[in-house]
Amino acid sequence: MNFQTDILPFLPYDKPFLFVDDIVEIKEGYIKGHYTFTKDAEFYKGHFKQRPVTPGVLLTECAAQIGLVCYAIFKMDPKNHSQFGMTSANMEFLKPHFPDQKIMVEAEEVYYRFGKLKMNVKVLDLNENILVRGQIAGMPVKYKNEE
């Protein structure tokens, strides 16, 4: 599977809210991808003025885009729904993430049943230190005008 042709066109995000640079491994039950939050991102200007830190909500979003949505596109037929929405997240923030540091997201499938997908996710730095870990779940979303 090719990220650029098989998954990227189906992602419902675009810059500046696309937090996926590449998918480096994807197979049944597992996905691994990376992203770099660049120091020129607007939110860093006000999130701890002396030492900017990546907001946890954006680390969660990155984990969801790679570990949930990209994996869902791989697992399901993306033509059957236009979006895959996060329904819950339970994340534990262990270490801070700073601008211009590449992160890796690894996710393992917990279950997929009745249209709901649940994943164990980890956000790691390049030294394989766990920055964030938790569970994210989601399901396909159809809007009234798409039925």
Segment 36-63, tens digit of pLDDT: 999 999 889 888 878 899 999 999 999 9
The pairing of beta strand 116-124 with beta strand 130-141:
antiparallel
Q: Could you say which DSSP state residue 21 is in?
A: S
Closest CA to 7 of 80, 84, 70: 70
pLDDT digits 0-9 by tens, 63-114 = 999 999 999 999 887 665 557 888 999 999 999 999 999 999 999 999 999 8
Q: How far apart, in Å, are the Cα atoms of 60 and each of 77, 81, 113, 145? A: 24, 23, 23, 29
Q: How many helices (H) and strands (E) would you count in the chain?
A: 2, 6
Q: pTM (2 decimals)?
A: 0.91
Which domains does the chain show, CATH number per domain? Answer: 20-38+53-142 (3.10.129.10)
- Indicate the DSSP class of residue 66: I
User: In the annotation, is 81 catalytic?
Assistant: no
* Catalytic, out of 34, 47, 81, 97: 47
pLDDT at position 79: 64
